[in-house]
Amino acid sequence: MATPGSARMRAEQRADLLRFANGAMTPQGFGWLDDRGDVTAGKPTELWITCRMTHTAALGILAHEAPAVGGPGIDRLREVVAHGIRSLCGPLEDSIDGGWFAAVDENGPRESAKQAYGHAFVVLAASSAVLTGAPGAQALFERALHTSELRFWHDAEGLSVEEWDRGWGVLSPYRGLNANMHTVEAYLAAGDVSGDATWHQRAGRIASRVLDWARANDWRIPEHFDSDWDPQVEHNRETPADPFRPYGATVGHGLEWARLFLAVEQTLGHNAPSGLREGAVALYDRAVSDGWNVDGAPGFVYTTDWDGSPVVRERMHWVVAEAIAASHALAIATGESCYSDNAAVWWEYVQTYLLDDERGSWHHELDPRNRPANSVWAGKPDIYHAYQATLLPELGLTPSFASALVARTLGS
């Protein structure tokens, strides 16, 4: 067995994750996979999953390693990306009002709302697909950027709004940072692929606002806001384990923002907002202090209250993946060995508790005693966080993943 966190282990995991996701195709896009890697019956095809699958398959193509380590071959990955593009230009796209539906099935839209979260992933998936040369990807990329700018970007605030109805006539009063976080990721990639620094600058504006909110809240990021961008810290207290809008501070998002702060800083250079690196360190330290091994067992709790006490103690695979990515990012940015030491501990945790050696992929949720659970996340619908965690140590902070893989190939 490969050493946890080693280059060999990471390559093996990338291949296994792509292999596991190989059965996700549905007529409308990519479905919700169960623990065995089969599409879960009765669930619609969701926009965010379809985009993430398209993106990771594109990364697999650009990494040029799948056939050598046991994953699906490059030709198969190209089929996966092509299917993703067809789905995003077909069943998931609203040909009447524009934009993309949140979820569809064989009868049409199941969730017709137009959500910033999903639209950010359309930008990301299309940008990665462009770099593979996939037919239709460039046109999709341009439509996605146009829609993001026209419908979601609020220039006066330097942030993204959250959700519209199908016809773009009614804007939800809710504002959220989860969608803005993935908009930062998407805009960094869009700037890299298009060469238009406007997208990088907008990512920087979002990061600057989040930095201010985090600093004012003892580095526990408020996630939920009203239409005036006033924090709503009691939002969803009655449903604290919501998979997308949980109550309290989300440990994994502190880690994810830390990584993105560093990527924004390196991308913008001397034009970056001040304090991003210090903010990344503070967010990381707070998330680790609040989240790791705080209740008598290893692992990161999902959420905490505003005083740092655990609220939802289940362990999510994506949180550990983001801890690994953030620790590698900070090791690169600071040169300090403590971050690499932390990453080694968390790779060991992944090896011990999260890898499903029998069926593949990573268990998406563990209970507080580190046994597989499904109270928040049923099945294994997502390979995006884990796949990116295996890539970052080899690519650095910038450019974004797909562009970095192209640059690596050109430089080899």
Tell me which amino acid residue 361 is.
Answer: S
Phi, psi of 75 (to 5 degrees): -60, -40
For residue 324 the two structure tokens come to 């690994």
Q: Are 331 and 323 in contact (CB under 8 A)?
A: no
Q: What is d(CA 316, CA 325) in angstroms, rounded to the nearest whole number? A: 15
The distance from CA 406 to its chain's CA centroid, rounded to whole angstroms, is 20
How far is CA 405 from its chain centroid? 18
For residue 312, which of 398, 261, 394, 237 has the smallest C-alpha distance?
A: 237
Report whether 178 contacts 127 (CB < 8 A).
Answer: no
Indicate which residues carry an active-site annotation: 253, 385
CA angle, 73 then 77 then 82, to 5°? 150
First to last CA, the chain: 28
- Are 20 and 361 in contact by the 8 Å Cβ rule? The answer is yes
Identify the three-state secondary structure at position 296.
coil
Pairing assessment for the beta strands 108-111 and 103-105 based on DSSP bridges: antiparallel
Cis peptide before 399 (omega within 30 of 0): yes
Residues 6 or more apart from 147 whose CB is under 8 A from it?
98, 99, 100, 119, 122
Q: Is 338 helix (H, G, I), strand (E, B) or coil?
A: helix
| Maximal C-alpha separation, the chain | 55
φ/ψ (deg, to 5) at 389:
-65, -30
